[in-house]
Amino acid sequence: MSKITFLGAGSTVFAKNVLGDCLMTPALQGFEIALFDIDHERLQDSANMLNNIKKTSGSTSVIKSYTDRKEALKGAKYVVNAIQVGGYDPCTITDFEIPKKYGLRQTIADTVGIGGIFRNLRTIPVMLDFAADIREVCPDALFLNYTNPMAVLTNVMNTYGGVRTVGLCHSVQACIPELFKSLGMEKEGVKAKIAGINHMAWLLEVTKDGVDLYPEIKKRAIEKQKEKHKDMVRFEMMLKFGHYITESSEHNAEYHPYFIKRNYPELIDRFNIPLDEYPRRCVNQISRWKQMREDLVNDANLTHERSHEYASYIFEAIETDVPFKIGGNVMNTGLITNLPREACVEVPCLVDRNGVTPTYVGDLPPQLAALNRTNINTQLLTIEAAITRKRDHIYHAAMLDPHTSAELSMDDIVAMCDELIEAHGSWLPEFS
């Protein structure tokens, strides 16, 4: 029996999408769906939910929960990762509240920026533990990483973990539908080419019947910017730098030095930037969980429709040898020629029985590559800090972050990092 292992299976809503999709996929029938989470109550919730879907769908897959991670991984052909180390309380709160004392405001704080750096530092050791188990009990497994910070964690698993890893994000497949809906344009028949880095990949080409749609997109974007809407940062970046970005405006507001500025508070209102957005989402999700749990876990008639998540389509393409195209996060083996080779990049990939094969992109437009490199700098220094356990590299990563360095002095950045290290306590390893 082939096996799909899901690490972080207590993420019940996300497990419904990814594993519910697998239960609905003919090529994946008869697989074992192995669930692992350190929260045993949430683990059981997810098992109950998936068994409900199994019953209503008629799937022949077997749902099995594990409290031993190595046993969950043993013999797996595919591994899906969706963990969050430290959760909302205490770690997410810490990532927001301490920088706020220094005047540094954030929106999501899960990719780069000071919040992204510390999320990486507490997650990388756990991921490397996963990698050690995988090398021992399922060394040929394909590891699909859904956990943020995507680029760094996918890089670490490939470079230091010795595990065949592809990072997956929702933003690529959502890019065209969201943009065209926002502008009142018809997306049917549209061809697009997207590449860059995770959360800052670029809509490089967008055509229909051979006609470049960018002139019409920008014309409509100029009009849309005259009124408040939720995507003002991305539209501003497109109008200034020439290309649309895959990830949302609340994310991109904190990836650049232009939008969240203490000395220009009017920018927050002008670009409709939701400060402290991620903690707000966490609080809302926690408050809604009781009802969601009732709907998902205790509904014996629960059904599922296959979602747009890539995982089941990747498994299906490998099992059937029917090709499928994804946007995947992979190591830059010369794929994007004006970004560092040691970086993780997001590019079109072909999936078939041979696995996930990235495609060559070449040079990005120079201004886009330059913007990507500002974030890659922080990513690579964060990895250096995590692997060497040198505190100085944490400072370097923070001082090179575009938003952090635009707002704080070097002394304040060092002091803030020291305070964050102390506050995280045992969530972080020791740094010298």
pLDDT in tens, the chain (432 residues): 899 999 999 999 999 999 999 999 999 999 999 999 999 999 999 999 999 999 999 999 999 999 999 999 999 999 999 999 999 999 999 999 999 999 999 999 999 999 999 999 999 999 999 999 999 999 999 999 999 999 999 999 999 999 999 999 999 999 999 999 999 999 999 999 999 999 999 999 999 999 999 999 999 999 999 999 999 999 999 999 999 999 999 999 999 999 999 999 999 999 999 999 999 999 999 999 989 999 999 999 999 999 999 999 999 999 999 999 999 999 999 999 999 999 999 999 999 999 999 999 999 999 999 999 999 999 999 999 999 999 999 999 999 999 999 999 999 999 999 999 999 999 999 999
How many H helices and E strands in the chain?
Answer: 17, 12
Taking a C-beta distance cutoff of 8 angstroms, is the pair 199, 111 a contact? yes
Amino acid 229: pLDDT: 97
106 DSSP 8-state letter: -
Nearest-CA neighbor of 50 among 81, 73, 18?
Answer: 18
Rounded to an integer, what distance in angstroms lies between the CA atom of residue 290 and that of residue 275?
26
Amino acid 1: pLDDT: 83
Looking at residue 103, its amino acid is G
What backbone phi and psi angles, to 5 degrees, belong to 143? -100, 115
Amino acid 404: pLDDT: 98
pTM of the model: 0.98
Rounded to an integer, what distance in angstroms lies between the CA atom of residue 8 and that of residue 34?
11
Strand partners, 205: 193
Amino acid 262: pLDDT: 94
Terminal Cα distance for the chain, rounded: 46
Which residues are part of the catalytic machinery?
170
By the 10 Å C-beta count (0-12 exposed, 13-18 middle, 19+ buried), 246 is classed as buried
Amino acid 374: pLDDT: 98
